Amino acid sequence: MRVTVKQALISGIAAATTLAALLSADWVYRTSVVRMPLQQAVARIPGVQRAMMPSAGRLSVQIRPSADLMAVSQAVNATAARVLGHAPPALLIEDHPSAQLTALAGQLRFVVAQGEATGQYVAMRRTILREATQAGAQAVVEMGNAHLYLTLHRGPNVLYQILPLPTGGTGRG
């Protein structure tokens, strides 16, 4: 069987056209059935200023500085699970930290690690609040079933951290 140049060219054009049509249909589907409904549903959550899904699997959320990080995060995950059928693989809570807040958060990681190692979460919370106040910042520390939610405010700047909690009784008492 002989294939002429004309036949090979036509086959290549047909394959490229089919691929382009499939990729376009996939983009339209993901945008209209997944991204837009999820962005709109998350944007309606109290405390959320803006929600974007720049790529498949990554959801970026900007929340109001006065919002409750734990409540918003849990509501975003629940909404994503309802719309997508699963939680987003990557949730990015946008913050606006200053160099001072970033340094303070770095110092507080030791306090968090010690609280996790010993299981003394109440003492950890008190220490975080005290050290934040000494640094001229306000801290909000909340603990859910699987995460520790830390919000640091100083002036117009805010830093959010969602830290996973160890599972399975790692504390010593």
Q: Does the structure show a pLDDT above 70 at 116?
A: yes
Q: Does the structure show a pLDDT above 70 at 110?
A: yes
Residue 56 binned pLDDT confidence (cut-offs 50, 70, 90) = low
Q: What is the CA radius of gyration of the chain?
A: 23
Question: Mean pLDDT over residues 68-84, rounded?
Answer: 90
Q: In the chain, what are the domain boundaries?
A: 5-94, 99-164
Q: What CATH number labels 99-164?
A: 3.30.1300
Q: Does the structure show a pLDDT above 70 at 142?
A: yes
Range among 21-25, 34-38, 69-73 rated most confident: 69-73
The more confident residue out of 24 and 162 is 162
Residue 152 binned pLDDT confidence (cut-offs 50, 70, 90) = very high
Predicted confidence at residue 145, as pLDDT, reads 87
Q: Does the structure show a pLDDT above 80 at 15?
A: yes
The DSSP bridge pattern shows strands 147-154 and 138-143 to be antiparallel
Predicted confidence at residue 85, as pLDDT, reads 81
Return the exposure string of 156-173: e unless at least 16 CB atoms fall within 10 Å of the residue's CB, then b. Answer: ebbbbbbeeeeeeeeeee
The DSSP line for 64-133 is -TTS-HHHHHHHHHHHHHHHHSS--SEEEEE-B--HHHHHHHHHHHHHHHHHHHHT-HHHHHHHHHHHHH
Predicted confidence at residue 173, as pLDDT, reads 38
Residue 65 binned pLDDT confidence (cut-offs 50, 70, 90) = confident
- Residues 105 and 152: beta-carbon distance below 8 Å: yes
pTM: 0.74
We find that the CATH architecture of domain 5-94 is 2-Layer Sandwich (3.30)
